[in-house]
Amino acid sequence: MSESPELRLLKLRVSMARAWVRESPLGRTATMIGMFLMIYLVFGVMVISLMLLMNINPTLVISVVAAPLWMAVMWTAFKVARILVPKKTADEHEEGGIGA
C-alpha cells in the first residue's frame, strides 16, 4: 500500500529539519533546548488561540487551574523536539562532532 502525499511531505520535512540540525554549528544540547523552546511557544500560542476561538477566558486557564494542560503541552513539545533533534552517531562520538 502506498503512502499518502501528506505523509510523504511530513517525512520530507522531518528529514530536512534533522539535516539542518546536523549541520548546526551549535552543540546538540543547545539545539535541543532551542528547538524545545520554539515548539513549546508555538504550541502555547495554539492552545491560547483555540481557547479564544471556543470563547474560553484564557486568563483563568493560564493560571494554576490548568496546570495539567500546560504539563501536557510541555511534554508534547519535548517529544516533538526529540524527534527532530537526532542523537549522536557512533562516528560523531569518536570524532567529537556535534555537541563536543
pLDDT digits (tens, 9 = 90+) for 15-25: 777 776 666 66
Would you say 85 and 31 are in contact if contact means Cβ atoms under 8 Å apart? yes
pTM (predicted TM-score)? 0.60
Contact 28, 98 (CB under 8 A): yes
Residues of the chain with pLDDT under 50: 90, 93, 97-100
Determine the pLDDT at residue 22: 66
Q: Where are the domains of the chain?
A: 27-88
- List, as one string, the DSSP characters of 16-27: HHHHHHHT-SS-
Q: What spatial distance separates the first Cα and last Cα of the chain, rounded to whole Å? A: 42
Distance CA 68, CA 84 (A): 24
